[in-house]
Amino acid sequence: MNSVIQLMQQHRSIRRFKPDQIPPDQVDLILRSAQSASTSSNVQAYSIIGVTDPAMKKELAILVGNQPYVEQCPLFLVWCADLLRLRHSCEREQVEMVHGTMENFIVATVDVALAAQNAAIAAESLGLGIVYIGGIRNHPREVSRLLQIPELVYPVFGMCLGYPDQDPDRRPRLPLEAVYHQNVYSTQRFDQAIEEYNTVMREYYRHRTGGKRDTTWSQEMSEKFRQATRQHMRSFLEEQGYGFE
């Protein structure tokens, strides 16, 4: 196992950070690493908003679901899918861009996710910790107003960055057999793999909480997906110019 693979397999979400600021040259390295990610047809359909202002981070911490580490981390990155820059480029060439399509929505969303994961790995290689914040989609209109996000741009998720002030256990993942299919998709191993994972996760939660949490992965997933969440996202995306034709 080389050092890159070892780093990737040791990933943990960090939710408590030291007050130390991240040196500008390291932030630059992280952002340039993000830009080196794969991108569909070189469209680079994303933008990154770095938030360091204490008042703005405090408001964002509330909007994402009262998550205090958003306020506490020295740098909060908001990762946005972005078609606006592409429309501007088309206008320079006197071409009207077709943007209200599902394909363009997918391309922009995938592009920003790939870039963010590059940034996460770069940050961890520098001794920093990160945690993704999907709660940025709890109140996307309010987030967009606060960050002055224009049409054809939408916030996909946030990311806290900083020096770790905790040493959490690594959360186990599903057995590889549950996610890797050879040649054709198969559900034959689902029951066994999920049963094995439930056992592992129950022990993980018991250890992590000192016995206060006794649940399994499938129980948690059944609670999570028994009802729809963030149903406001479709209308918000349509308002931002992301169609679903």
124 and 58 within one domain: yes
What burial class does residue 54 get, using C-beta atoms within 10 Å of its C-beta: 0-12 exposed, 13-18 middle, 19+ buried?
exposed
Please report whether residue 222 resides in a domain: no
What b/e sequence results for 198-224 when a residue is b if at least 16 CB atoms lie within 10 Å of its CB, and e otherwise?
beebbebbeeeeeeeeeebbeeeeeee
Same domain assignment for residues 141 and 206? no
Q: Are residues 78 and 159 in the same domain?
A: yes
183 in any annotated domain: yes
DSSP 3-state of 174:
coil
Per-residue pLDDT tens over the stretch 20-74:
999 999 999 999 999 999 999 999 999 999 999 999 999 999 999 999 999 999 9
Q: Examine the domain organization and report whether 163 and 180 are in the same domain.
A: no
Written as six digits, the tokens of 77 are 């990155």
**Bridge-based pairing state of the strands 46-51 and 153-162:** unpaired
112-164 pLDDT, tens per residue? 999 999 999 999 999 999 999 999 999 999 999 999 999 999 999 999 999 99
Number of Cβ within a 10 Å radius of residue 69: 21
Residue 126, SS3 per DSSP: coil
Q: Give the DSSP H/E element, type plus range, for residue 178.
A: helix 176-179
Is 220 part of a structural domain of the chain?
A: no
Query: Do the beta carbons of residue 80 and residue 149 sit within 8 Å?
Result: yes
Q: Is the dihedral of CA 191, 173, 171, 200 positive or negative?
A: positive
At 99, is the pLDDT very low, low, confident or very high (cuts 50, 70, 90)?
confident
Domain that holds residue 194: 176-214
* Full-model pTM: 0.96
Residue 245 pLDDT more than 70? no
3-state class (DSSP) for residue 164: strand
Rg (CA), the chain: 20
- Distance between CA atoms of 159 and 77, rounded to whole angstroms? 5
Position 244 confidence tier, pLDDT thresholds 50, 70, 90? confident
* Local confidence band at 205 (pLDDT 50, 70, 90 cut-offs): very high
Does residue 221 belong to any structural domain of this protein? no
Return the closest-CA partner of residue 64 out of 78, 46, 54, 50.
78
**Residue range 91-111: mean pLDDT, rounded:** 94
Banded model confidence at residue 165, pLDDT cuts 50, 70, 90: very high
Q: What's at 150, amino acid-wise?
A: P
Q: Could you give the number of structural domains in the chain?
A: 2
Cβ neighbourhood burial of 129 (10 Å; 0-12, 13-18, 19+): buried
Cα 112 vs. chain centroid, distance in angstroms? 9
